[in-house]
Structure 1
Amino acid sequence: MPLERGSPVLAEQVEKLLAQPLPWPIVQAGDPVLRAAARPYEGELSDETLSALIAGMKETMHAAPGVGLAAPQIGLSVRIAVVEDSARERPGVAESTLATRGIVPLPFRVLVNPTYTRVGDETAAFFEGCLSVHGWQAVVARALRIRLRGADETGAALDEELSGWPARIVQHETDHLHGILYLDRAELRSLSTHEAVARRWTQPTPAEAARELGFDLP
């Protein structure tokens, strides 16, 4: 059941987290918090505490480094996530590859109680990783375009369409808030270490990986 409004439980958990040095440890696969449906955020934190939590999540995401971080990944089962992608910090990735994958800048933003629905039938499949499955990547087919709904950290409503890599990031982080890891949606025959991807599978699309590793693309 969701936390009652004004419940001290989440506030106590966050205060303990804020007392720890940054960056915070990132929870790894196998921890039940990553498999539980997170509770909706219902204003349990003061503005000051929420701001401190968001700042800590941002610093932890940057330090990892990553382009998104959901609260369960730092041990908090609540529906809050942060995302940001400069789209330029990918050494050795050609501009043509960035374009093929739809990688464009995604400014820093906070997602509170986000949901998404697909827009249209187009699907894109690319290698994807996760800070909570350290060292591995796999090909995941996701909706090319989505409609994002939810709120930001001020409570302002979000209702917008995203496409390409920003849509992929939002789908990935929102899935975390429902106990879903990217491996649940992945082509498991594509599972590769970061080193293997960097050595073998840097092509703009995973078509060659599909042929060599024996999996189908949508």
Structure 2
Amino acid sequence: MSSDAKPTDFSAARIQETVEQVLTAGVLPAIVQAGHPVLRQFAAPFSGQLNDAQLGQLIDLMRSVMHKAPGVGLAAPQLGIPLQVAVLEDQFVVDAEVAAARGREPLPFFAMLNPSYEPLGGSTVAFYEGCLSLNGLQAAVSRPEAVRLDFASPDGSTQQREFTGWQARIVQHETDHVHGILYLDRAELRSISNNAEYSARWAQPDISLARKELGFLPGD
């Protein structure tokens, strides 16, 4: 799915002003929820709108917000900042059976600017996802099992890395955020579940039971 999102109309000066407001507020900012237009904009590519110190402070703040949530990724638009910056980290301890079924391995922290990804091979896999900007919901999303990620590091160097399994899912989810795409855009709508129902019924290593009982991906 390519993004049909309209580019943000924030100028470089307005982006810098918004970041400064967030950095100087003295408290961790709230995570923007679905319905806020910033989540539906194609965020501005990073092109020096912030100096090195501001960028470093923003990344540190985003990491703190991600940890507090808690989550495994956070994009700048989720703090109301339409800029192509995201942080990712997955150090959660998960059940061995779940980790094996989902291909979930620890993901060391990194920040990415101006990310884009391409599928590697034709294999796709579906699992339930949630989002810090869609509180209370989970839905099954089919995504490429492996991707190649192109991005810039905060130091300005260009990077290319390959990811598989759950790491690839995190990379895709956060890259989508800076392009104005939410995971529900890609979700199997019949799979949508609130957190309580998901925990009670569908929090299994894979989606086979939910798929059968809720009637989604019947021909897969």
TM-score, normalised with respect to structure 1 = 0.93
Give the number of aligned pairs. 213
Which amino acid in structure 2 is aligned with residue 100 of structure 1? A
Which amino acid in structure 1 is aligned with residue 71 of structure 2? G
3-state DSSP class of the match of 2:191? strand
Q: 1:206: which partner in 2?
A: 207
Deviation at 1:21, TM superposition (A): 3.1
Q: 1:150: which partner in 2?
A: 151
Q: Structure 1: how far apart are the matches of 2:121 and 2:26?
A: 44
Matched, 1:74 2:79: yes
3-state DSSP class of the match of 1:108? strand
Q: Structure 2: how far apart are the matches of 1:126 and 1:2?
A: 31
3-state DSSP class of the match of 2:42? coil
Which amino acid in structure 1 is aligned with residue 116 of structure 2? T
Q: 2:129: which partner in 1?
A: 128
Deviation at 1:23, TM superposition (A): 2.2
The unaligned stretches of length 5 or more in structure 2 are 1-6
Question: In 2, are the aligned partners of 1:117 and 1:147 still within 8 Å (CA)?
Answer: yes
3-state DSSP class of the match of 1:42? coil
Q: 1:97: which partner in 2?
A: 98
Q: Structure 2: how far apart are the matches of 1:56 and 1:111?
A: 14
Q: Deviations over 1:26-75 (max 9, x none)?
A: 00000110001111000111111111101100000000000000010000
Q: Structure 2: how far apart are the matches of 1:4 and 1:136?
A: 30
Deviation at 1:150, TM superposition (A): 1.0
Q: Structure 2: how far apart are the matches of 1:203 and 1:44?
A: 43
Q: 1:44: which partner in 2?
A: 49
Which amino acid in structure 1 is aligned with residue 153 of structure 2? D
Q: 1:173: which partner in 2?
A: 174
Runs ≥4 residues deviating over 3 A: 1-5
Which amino acid in structure 1 is aligned with residue 54 of structure 2? T
TM-score, normalised with respect to structure 2 = 0.92
Q: 2:3: which partner in 1?
A: none
Q: Deviations over 1:113-157 (max 9, x none)?
A: 000000000001000000000011000000000000011111121
Over the matched positions of the two proteins, sequence identity in percent amounts to: 48
- 1:33 pairs with one of 30, 33, 38: 38
